[in-house]
Each structure stands twice: as structure tokens, then as C-alpha cells.
Structure 1
Amino acid sequence: MSRTGARPRVLVVGAGLAGTATAIRLLHFARRPLEIVLLERRPDYRSAGVAYHRDGNPWDHVFNIQAGRMSVFREDVLDFVHWANQEADRRDWPQRWAARKFTEQGPAPRRIFQDYLDDRLAEARRESCPGTVLVEADGEALAMDPRGRGFEVTIGHLCANGLDGLRPGPLPDTKVLGADHVVLATGLELKEPPFAAEVAGHPSFVRNPYSAAGVRALTRLRPDATVAIVGSVLSAYDSAGLLLRNGHTGRIHLISKSGTIFRTYPDTHEHGVVRLPRPETLLEPYRGPEEFLARAGAAWRAACSTVREQHPGIAPVIVSERVAKAWEPYLPEIIERIPTDDLRRLLDEFATTIAALRVGAVKYTMAVIEHAMRTPDGPVELVVGKVRAITPARSGRLLVSLAPQHDGRTLEADLVVSNFGRESDYAKVDGPLWRDLLRKGIAVPHERTGRGLEVDACGTLLDGDGRPAGPVSTVGVPREGDEIVRHGRTGAFAFNLAAIKNHSVSVAAHVVEQLELRQEGLYDIAARHPHYRSYASNPEEADRAALEESVVLEVRRLATRERREREALDSRLIASIHSMGGLPALPADVSRPDRLMRAVVNRVAVERLNDVSVTPRQLRRQLGIGNVDKPEG
């Protein structure tokens, strides 16, 4: 849709971490007037989502990773720590946190992340270019219809100030909002556990431990009660840790099909990247899952041995994480050899194991769990088994039955907490928006993995024919399957902050680029001349230095939060691009080759900002961005 006479409008659906991070980048990247509508159906989730909202995160819930890895800006690794120490309003914090100086390796409570994102969004709004507007709207996106070169989005119970151009919707309490581009940042979708159908509304069953009701159920439980926690992923440790820190003495059963317990990060742990050779044996012809797993196990053990020998300074508990991340560049080629059915089964069977290899948890979370498990007759017991059913008992308690091929026993509990996880198969997601998008073919479930949706390299939704479904992008969880097969990124993807940060940069840059090209009448150039982008990797020798200068300037512009500095960098960038001349790959009659060169430079700059082969601190040094190691506190 072309909104004639108005500034372009970008609708971001979902205002949790992914949506807020993308809105921040849009405010930074826009060089012309732009309206950004940040839509959230749950006001308490704004700038937080399920992972960080205050009502579901008491003060004992801390980040699973160190505070120094929680910056919303990958190129400014310590931004969150500096905010917590220098800017955060601590007046309502409990003393144990209010008096704390946060460090890069230390813990931090998850609930303060909402304030951090709020502050960074407000800062981005203040520092945006003139004419750029941010509208924070409450409401639920229900349906989308292509209109011209945009979408009309039906929104239920829309409440927002400053929105114009609305027209009455087809149903009571709905409005139709025109958007030139839509960004879907809807976060995780809860999976309904089939084994708990009989107890879905039972007062002793907690389906969502990150809800206000879930937290109340845990904190008000009598100390000697028996608790069963289904799942041993990181969210399960939050529930168990909350009970133990409140003096719980009754039995806590951690029920895990795989028996996986996550590793504890050392106090001095820092994010790092090692380089390993390709695991050549995994690139041999695929001969079935058992044979493949045997090869994978042998290659894994060899890689871990190599890291221990070549990097003796790496703590033993971190070796698996280093290997898992070093293998990511090779996984797409390996995955390509595995048949779809086998790939899906392997991902389902080993999801928790893979997540535990790739990420650990901070000592604050794990110490209380490990102590309770190590103590003779301690309250925490790891139960290895698959839950077959949860049913009411005559006593009013709940019965948790395990599958015969596993433990086989039945546990009776006063409270059952389900960490059964999220629904990654969007064909099964029950929300009205996703049902609408799949029915219309605007979104298609990811074919190879059954996780997330089909998207292109820019995060644009693809239809059933593999073509862009329109100006609609995705950030975060819906891209899980694509991230696995395109980049080899596996693990606990629902809360993968690194992936969300990269998505927010690339999607925001792509959206701004597309809107600017449209305004300049160059929107169809990429379709008519798709090879123009390859000029960045194969420039004429005479232009190489000028191209590099332009890319460095664009990287710094994208990474700069102050408007005046961005504008100065933009002026220098325009002059640098003009010095390069035209694009030899394009026909001579194409107008504004300098503008297309700008798009090329932007793409290369985004790739550099999102380079995961180096740590954020190494990236900062390589790109010459600001002060690499600002003092903490």
C-alpha cells in the first residue's frame, strides 16, 4: 500500500524484547520521516515479553547468562551493565540488589530488563531524525490482507494516541490499520501438553510458571509440599530455585526425559570464539540416524579434545559450548545431507541435550539447585523419564505417571509445574493472526525442520512457492527453522538474545532500505537487476578502498545512538559513495546508481555488525567503534 502524502508506516506486531529491539534500530536507522507503530496485546509484556515482565519474574529470577551479555546492542557489549550501575532507578529495589555493583560476569535480576529496554527505547525516540514518530499501541493483530505494496491489518481493541488514517473495521471493537511494512515479533507460542488435558484448569497445576498466577502458586505453597517440575531446562531451575530460596523443604522432583542438567558457568567466564576445522566425517554420505550419531559422537569427542589441548585456559565446563559454536558454520552443509524426517526426529529427541551443550547458567541460579541435589536426603531429585499423563487424585493432589519404558512409576504431588515449552510448529499455533496468515498462504511452516516459518535471508516471509509474501518480516522465534538450516544455530532458541539482536539489525536495515528505495522510485531495481548486490564482494580494484571507507562509515552510523553524530557520518558517507562512481554491473540507463550503491554498502555494513565469528568485544575493536573497554560502574 502506498500511503500517499503521509510518512511511511511500519507496524511492529509484538513489543517484547524482539519487537522493542527492532523498534530501537528503526528509530536509529531511519534517515527520513517514518511512523513506527509498536503494537502489544498485553501491556504488562511491553519491553519485556514472557521472559522479563515483572509480574512473572520475582527478584530471585536472574538471567541465565552473565549480565555483561545482556546488552541490546551487540556492538556495545557492556551497555546493560553500565545502565544498571549508572542509570537505573533503584528506589524500589530490594536491598540485596539496590546495593550491588553489577559486573560483566555476575548475575542480574531479569525483571529490571524491562526498565532497561524502556529507557533505551525512549532514548532512541529522542535521538531519531526529525519527523520520525513512535506510537506505542495496545491491541491484538487478528488478520492481514495485502493491499497495493503494503498490508491492511485488522486489530482488535486498538488503543493508541497519534494514529491517523484509520478506518472502521468489519467487526465491533476492531480497526483496520494500513502499513507499508509489517514486522512480526510475536515471541513464543505456548504448547498445550497432551499429557495434562485432564488437569488444565486444576488449581494445583501450573501451566505457565512465568505468569503472575504461577509465581503466586509457587511462593504461597507450604514449605513441606511435594512438587513435580516437568522438564529440566533452564526455566525449571527458576521454579526450583524460587522454592528453595523461600525455604522449601519438601521433595522437588525434576522430571526430565533426557536427564540433562545444565552446566554452571565459572565466575570468570567470558564469551569467546574458537576456530575448529570442518568435521569432515560428518560430510560423508548419510547412512541412517544411528550411524550418523556414532560419527557425530566421535567427531564431537575429537573436537573437544582439540579445544582442551590447544586452549588450556578454557575451563573444562565451557569446552562443549566453544565446540558447539565453532561448528555452527559447518552445520548447514551437514544438515543438508540428512533426510527431512530424520532431521525432525533428531531435533526433537536431542533438543534439550543440544541446548545444554551450547549454553549454561550462572552460579546464582545453579548453586542452590546443585546444593540441594548433592546433600544427602536433599529436597531435589532428578527423575529420568517421560511423562505419560497427569491426572487428579482422590486426595486433591495430582498424579504424574511416567512412561513404562522409562521410570514407569507414578508420583503424587501437591503442585505440578509444567515447563513443557513452546509450540514451534506454526501449523498448530492457535492464535488468530497465525491462523489467518497460514490460511492465506502469507506464512508457510518451515518444511525441513517443522520449526518456525519459511523466510528468506532478510527475514521476509515466503509463500508456498518460495517467493516473498510481501513487505512482511519476522524477528526472533518464528525464524528458528531457517536459523538452523541457514546458519547452523541450534539450542534454546526461544530466548536466544544473540539471534534476536542480529535479527533486529538486519530487519530494521532492510525495512528502511526498502522504504527509501520505494520513495525514490527504485523499489523494483533489485528484482530487475538482482546481481547489483554482488558488486560489494567483487568491486573494481580502483574502487576497493573507497568501498571499504564507505562500509566503515556506514557501520559507525548504524552503531551510533546520537542523532547529530549519525548525521555527520551520513554526510561523509554520501561523499565517499560519490567518489566511487557508478555500478559497472548495471545498465547505463539505470537512474541513481549512487543510491543503489548506498544499499550495497548498507548490506555489507549489516553483515559486519552481525558477524558471529568474533565476540562482541572483538567486533568493536575491528570496527573501531567508540571505546572498546569502557570502565564499569
Structure 2
Amino acid sequence: MGRIVIIGGGFAGAAAAIKIIAGSSGRLDLTVVEPRERLGRGIAYATANRDHLVNGLAGGFGLHPEDPGHLVRWLEEHAEKLGWTPPAGTPCAVSSPPRAVFGAYVEHELDRAIASAGERLRFTHLRDRAIDFDGEVVTLASGARLAADRIVLATGLFRKEPAFVTRALAQSRAYVRDVFDTDALTSAAGAKHVLLLGSGLTMLDAVVSLETRGFRGAYTAVSRRGLLVQARREAEPWPDMFADGPLPKTARDVLRRVQRERRQLAANGEDWQRLPPLFRQYAAAIWRQLDTGERAKLVRHLGSFWNLVQHRAATPSFAVLDRVRGEGRFQNLAATITALEPAASGARATLRPRGERQALSLDVDLVVNGLGFEFDWNRLKDPLVRNLVAKGFAVPHPLGSGVRADPDTLALVGRDGRVSTRLFAVGHALRAEMWEASSIREQLDHAIRLAKVLNRAGLMIGEAA
């Protein structure tokens, strides 16, 4: 009986396990290496704050595309027992459940898949970390070694650590590295002014957490472009701009198409949020036919805006920020921080506003890292990542995000240019190969595709059950 090892037990790893189990037809030995006690949570869905919501509507986030109403029915049956009900008068399907509740759903579905497989499945959750791989054996932080026929990298998210934060500040109570660390946020109790690094969804999580704790001081958010997170509005997709011709083959053509449709939307008084759902339908197909140079251009000109328009906030979460802005307590700056160090007040930031030569200083009581996550495998300090790269099993993608992989099989491409028959990836590691690999929908697609690849190749079929 062959063994499949999934490294990482967050959403992508749990979804892969669910689909691999469902797609197998014989005896299966499946191990998930994940240090957390509960699978399916990762960083995003492990938060205990019930005001941290899934950034979309429940009707679109089920684990079973063949059964679109599955999550909604599950919520109607289980969510109240978990301490959540939709807002009064709002159907469950058009509500945004807490991420903790969604994590419980993923965990429940994994448990159900394991139980349904019965004796043909040997499932193991190892609470450990993978730190090395020699081509045949995975080494764990505990010193244990796992022989594996197929390894699935579901390594998840790695926090972005800004270089301008001094060690002294990082070790002080004036700096919060993790917005989901409830103990660290106790430092906000006496604060009057908080500096937020970043202006996206992680920054919004920080504001929601602080407001929930009773903070009523001022915020200054700083990011290079000053692009502030947007609220999600459910809008019908814009008429298909690609229906009457071939897909664009250059970054310039893509940008021209998008800009043309944006102008048309504005001229018609339409909501710009009708455009992202349409573009998303074609994004992967357009991306696949662009060469590396054209992809780099598209990332440079459209990447930040895509993250802004695609990864929008749930309406209730954004309402918190909207209230804070209405009270005059929120300032959003487009600037580059050049230094951040301890000060009498807590911390002092030196920053240069975009388009200006003169630097300015800003004294704050607390600094919260809301920059999000690092995707460049050349910069990651994780031992497994470093060893995979050093040994040539993984190649950091030239676009600076994730690894080289075959988009059809999700198998890694090694330094020798060969497609691996042993190493596969799902989730964030495929970001540069797939254009979009951060959302539930895309990561679920990875899991489904991988299960089919393994099944077609006979990699999950052992002796008859």
C-alpha cells in the first residue's frame, strides 16, 4: 500500500485530503503533517475572533462544487451550536460566517470523509513539522522520518517580516507581529495611536480586533501604494468581453481590455465590481498563454490592483472600518517606511510619502504588522522550503511567488527541468503558476485536480479494499 504525505493541514491541505480520500478506490495510507491540534484551520480559520469573517457569502464557499448548497445546509444545522447565526432577516446563503465556523465546517467534512472510507483508509495526523526531504524520506522536527511515495506540499502562508523593524522593537510590547495573537493585542489597552503596516485584509483584521477590544484611538495605515481594502458587493458579472474574439496574448492587450471595460462601466453608471467576476473566469486561461516576460509585466501593472479588487472584505467587517473612518480616527498614507524603532511613546517611524522627497517622523504607541504574507520562496526561512530549494527539488518561481510547477498535474519542476513524479503542491505555492491561488475556490480546484491526477496515474490504488 503506497503512502501519501500531505505537508500542511490548513485549508488547502485538508481540502486535498478530503478529495484524495473521495477519489481513491482501494486501500490508502494518508498522513497529514501539521503541528496544530485541529486540521482545516491554518492561519486564516484558526482565529477565535467571531468578528473575523469569511470574505464572501456562504452560498459560494462549499467544499463540494457538485452540491452548491452544501455549506449553507451545514450552517443551518450546525452554526447555532457553534455560537453563530446570520444577522436578523438575512438568509444564511447571503451571510458571511465567522472564519472559525468555516474552519469547523472543513474539519467536519474531513472527519466525515475519514469515517466514510472505513477500514480501507489508514489516516494519521502527525502534530509535527516537516523540515527536510531527501528524495524518498521526509524528516520531521521531532527527528522522526517518514517514507513517502507521494508528497503534497500544502505549506500555506508565511508571515511577511518587514526588514525595517529593528530587533529591539520586535521584542518590545509596542510591536504586534501577529494580528491574530490575542495576548499581544493587550498592549493596545492604553494606546492612543496605532501604526498599521499595510492597508489590505490583514490590516482590516487588526482594526476589527482592536475595535472589538474597545480601542477608540487613532490609526495610521501605511503602504507603498496606499490602496485601501474594499468592501465586497455581490454584483452580476459584466457582459462577456472575451466572447467575440481570442483571449489577449500580451500584458498590454489585457490591460487595454480591462481599462476599456472600466471606462464603459463608468460611462453607464455601473458598479465596477461587476468586472472582477468576469475577469476571474478567464484569468487562468489568459495567464497560461502568456510567456514569463508578459506575465512579469502583468504582475507589475495589474498585480496590486487585482489583489485589491479580487480579495475584498465582507460587508460587516468593512463596516467597522467605515465607522472608524467616519469618526475621523483613520488615516491612510501611501508611503515607504525607512526606519522603525523604539521610542518613548512606543515606536517612531521614519517614512517618505509617495511622490515627496522630504521624510517625516511619526510617533505612535503601538505598531501592528498587517503586511500579510511572504510568497517568495527565495526569502522564506522555513527549513523545509530552504532544503527543498537547496537540493533542487523545488525552484522558486522567477516571478517571485511560489515555485515552478506543471499546471496540469501540479507536480513540482526541479532544478534539472524535470517534472517530479513524487512532489506535488496545492495552494499558495502555485501562486505564480496559476495567477490566483489564494482563495477558497482556487485552492479547492487544486485539491480536486490533484486527486484526479493521482487517481488517473494509479497512485492512490493499492490492494483491493
Same fold (TM over 0.5): yes
- Answer whether contact 2:288 2:434 (CA < 8 A) is retained: no
* Structure 2 CA distance for partners of 1:467 and 1:399, relative to 1, 3 Å: same
* Structure 2 CA distance for partners of 1:111 and 1:402, relative to 1, 3 Å: same
More helix by share: 1
Could you tell me which of 178, 196, 205 is aligned with 1:208? 178
Instruction: Map 1:416-495; keep pairs closer than 5 Å.
Output: 416-447=367-398, 449-456=399-406, 457-484=408-435, 489=436, 493=437, 495=438
> In structure 2, what residue type is equivalent to 1:301?
Q
* Structure 2 CA distance for partners of 1:308 and 1:225, relative to 1, 3 Å: closer
Over the residues paired in the alignment, what is the CA RMSD in angstroms?
3.0
* Structure 2 CA distance for partners of 1:152 and 1:273, relative to 1, 3 Å: farther
Instruction: Write the distance in 1 (CA, Å) between the matches of 2:461 and 2:419.
Output: 16
SS of 1:420 mapped into structure 2: coil
Number of the residue aligned with 2:231: 264
Could you tell me which of 235, 240, 249 is aligned with 2:202? 235
Deviation at 1:384, TM superposition (A): 1.9
**Residue 503 in 1 paired to residue 446 in 2?**
yes
CA displacement 1:338-379 (0-9 Å, x = unmatched): 367x53xx636754322112232221011121232134xx21
Number of the residue aligned with 1:626: none
Could you tell me the percent identity over the aligned residues? Answer: 23
Number of the residue aligned with 1:156: 141
Deviation at 1:131, TM superposition (A): 1.4
Number of the residue aligned with 2:221: 254
Number of the residue aligned with 1:28: 22
Number of the residue aligned with 1:612: none
Instruction: Write the distance in 2 (CA, Å) between the matches of 1:476 and 1:119.
Output: 20
Number of the residue aligned with 2:240: 275
Stretches of structure 2 lacking an aligned partner (at least 5 in a row): none
Number of the residue aligned with 1:524: none
* Structure 2 CA distance for partners of 1:236 and 1:36, relative to 1, 3 Å: same
Could you tell me which of 101, 122, 138 is aligned with 2:111? 122
SS of 1:435 mapped into structure 2: helix
Instruction: Map 1:63-462; keep pairs closer than 5 Å.
Output: 63-88=54-79, 90=81, 93=83, 103-128=92-117, 130-146=119-135, 151-157=136-142, 174-198=143-167, 199-210=169-180, 212=181, 215-218=182-185, 221-222=188-189, 225-266=192-233, 269=234, 272=237, 274-277=239-242, 283=249, 292=252, 298-306=256-264, 316-328=271-283, 331-332=286-287, 335-336=290-291, 338=293, 343=297, 347=299, 351-375=303-327, 378-393=328-343, 395-403=344-352, 405-406=354-355, 408-447=359-398, 449-456=399-406, 457-462=408-413
Number of the residue aligned with 2:45: 52
Stretches of structure 1 lacking an aligned partner (at least 5 in a row): 1-6, 158-173, 287-291, 521-566, 568-633
Instruction: Write the distance in 1 (CA, Å) between the matches of 2:279 and 2:336.
Output: 26
SS of 2:32 mapped into structure 1: strand
Number of the residue aligned with 1:587: none
SS of 2:30 mapped into structure 1: strand
Deviation at 1:307, TM superposition (A): 5.9
CA displacement 1:43-102 (0-9 Å, x = unmatched): 35x32001011xx341111111122222122332232222121134626x27x7799976
* Structure 2 CA distance for partners of 1:117 and 1:204, relative to 1, 3 Å: same
Instruction: Write the distance in 1 (CA, Å) between the matches of 2:286 and 2:146.
Output: 41
> In structure 1, what residue type is equivalent to 2:347?
L
> In structure 1, what residue type is equivalent to 2:325?
M
* Structure 2 CA distance for partners of 1:333 and 1:193, relative to 1, 3 Å: same
- Per the normalisation by structure 2, the TM-score is 0.89
SS of 1:441 mapped into structure 2: coil
SS of 2:164 mapped into structure 1: helix
Deviation at 1:29, TM superposition (A): 1.0
* Structure 2 CA distance for partners of 1:224 and 1:190, relative to 1, 3 Å: closer
SS of 2:165 mapped into structure 1: helix
Deviation at 1:226, TM superposition (A): 0.6
Instruction: Write the distance in 1 (CA, Å) between the matches of 2:426 and 2:380.
Output: 17
- Per the normalisation by structure 1, the TM-score is 0.66
> In structure 2, what residue type is equivalent to 1:338?
G
Deviation at 1:433, TM superposition (A): 1.1
SS of 1:503 mapped into structure 2: helix
More strand by share: 2
* Structure 2 CA distance for partners of 1:101 and 1:178, relative to 1, 3 Å: farther
Instruction: Write the distance in 2 (CA, Å) between the matches of 1:326 and 1:10.
Output: 32
- Answer whether contact 1:257 1:385 (CA < 8 A) is retained: yes
SS of 1:254 mapped into structure 2: strand
Instruction: Write the distance in 2 (CA, Å) between the matches of 1:406 and 1:12.
Output: 46
- Answer whether contact 1:20 1:117 (CA < 8 A) is retained: yes
SS of 2:211 mapped into structure 1: helix
Instruction: Write the distance in 1 (CA, Å) between the matches of 2:89 and 2:7.
Output: 36
* Structure 2 CA distance for partners of 1:315 and 1:191, relative to 1, 3 Å: same
* Structure 2 CA distance for partners of 1:18 and 1:337, relative to 1, 3 Å: closer
* Structure 2 CA distance for partners of 1:191 and 1:372, relative to 1, 3 Å: closer
Deviation at 1:406, TM superposition (A): 4.5
Deviation at 1:196, TM superposition (A): 0.9
Instruction: Write the distance in 1 (CA, Å) between the matches of 2:281 and 2:77.
Output: 35
> In structure 1, what residue type is equivalent to 2:365?
D
Instruction: Write the distance in 2 (CA, Å) between the matches of 1:14 and 1:282.
Output: 36
> In structure 2, what residue type is equivalent to 1:359?
H
Instruction: Write the distance in 2 (CA, Å) between the matches of 1:478 and 1:326.
Output: 21
**Residue 8 in 1 paired to residue 8 in 2?**
no
Deviation at 1:235, TM superposition (A): 1.2
* Structure 2 CA distance for partners of 1:305 and 1:350, relative to 1, 3 Å: closer
> In structure 1, what residue type is equivalent to 2:211?
L
- Answer whether contact 2:265 2:271 (CA < 8 A) is retained: no
Instruction: Write the distance in 1 (CA, Å) between the matches of 2:460 and 2:109.
Output: 28
Instruction: Write the distance in 2 (CA, Å) between the matches of 1:404 and 1:502.
Output: 40
Instruction: Write the distance in 2 (CA, Å) between the matches of 1:124 and 1:315.
Output: 44
Deviation at 1:476, TM superposition (A): 0.3
Greater RCO, 1 or 2 (C-alpha within 8 Å, sep 6+): 2
SS of 1:458 mapped into structure 2: coil
* Structure 2 CA distance for partners of 1:29 and 1:114, relative to 1, 3 Å: same
> In structure 1, what residue type is equivalent to 2:141?
G
> In structure 2, what residue type is equivalent to 1:510?
V
- Answer whether contact 1:32 1:130 (CA < 8 A) is retained: no
Instruction: Write the distance in 1 (CA, Å) between the matches of 2:317 and 2:165.
Output: 28
Instruction: Write the distance in 1 (CA, Å) between the matches of 2:236 and 2:271.
Output: 14
Higher mean C-alpha displacement, 412-421 vs 497-506: 412-421
* Structure 2 CA distance for partners of 1:305 and 1:103, relative to 1, 3 Å: farther
